[in-house]
Every structure is written in structure tokens, then in C-alpha cells.
Amino acid sequence: MFSVEIEYRLQNVFQKDFFSKSDSGFQFVEDERNGQMVLKFIIHNHSLCIMNLDKQNPIPFLNQQKGFYARRADYGLFEFTSDNICRLHIFEMTTTVSQGKWETKII
């Protein structure tokens, strides 16, 4: 699916299940008590996705003890356009969008 170098890193550098792999797409779900959002992202290139980046904190460097704690996006997706070149897609999901949030956070 990926180049030999990328596969080696996936097997030996990152913890198991750090990335989800796909060449057809992903489904992202934001489920809060106030509502639910489901996004089906169809992609036709080999891709790696970090799922629930904000909740699981799979990157230990980004924590409060190191002084880098901040809200993070929910999902980070690497779409490989060739062996060693990829596009980064960042997803921040929300279940409700009020007028105030639209004006201050989205625009």
C-alpha cells in the first residue's frame, strides 16, 4: 500500500493503531450530548489518519506538562499523492453552530 520506508515507520516507529489506513476514505463522527455530526470523507489515494487526535492525545509532546497543551483538531489525515509526498487534511468537528460561533470561530 505504501512505500517500504513508510511501512517500516508504521511498523517500527509508531505505536500500533496510531494511524488508520485506507485507500477509499474514512468516516468521522462527533457525538456530544447536544447533537451528532457524521462526515464521510471519500478519498482515492493511500491515506493515513490519526483518529480522535483531540481526545486520545496520541502525541505526548502536546500535553499540559510540557506547556504545549491546547485544543487540537479532531482528525489529521495524510493523503499520499506519491510515495513520499502527501497532502495534510485537518478536521475539527462540532455538533452545534450558533450565530456567535459562526461569527467568531468559523469566519
Q: Along the chain (107 residues), what's the average pLDDT of each consecutive run of 10 residues?
A: 83 82 88 77 90 62 54 81 86 74 68
pLDDT computed for residue 66 by the predictor:
53
Residues 42/10/17/93 CA torsion (nearest 10 deg): -40
Q: Which helix (H) or strand (E) holds 88?
A: strand 86-91
pLDDT computed for residue 6 by the predictor:
84
pLDDT computed for residue 59 by the predictor:
58
pLDDT computed for residue 60 by the predictor:
56
pLDDT computed for residue 63 by the predictor:
54
Which pLDDT tens digit goes with each residue over 68-85? 555 667 788 999 998 778
Residues 83/84/88/89 CA torsion (nearest 10 deg): 10
Domain boundaries of the chain, sorted by first residue: 4-106
Give just the sign of the alpha carbon dihedral 100, 94, 62, 81: negative
pLDDT computed for residue 79 by the predictor:
93
pLDDT computed for residue 104 by the predictor:
76
pTM above 0.75, yes or no: no
pLDDT computed for residue 9 by the predictor:
84
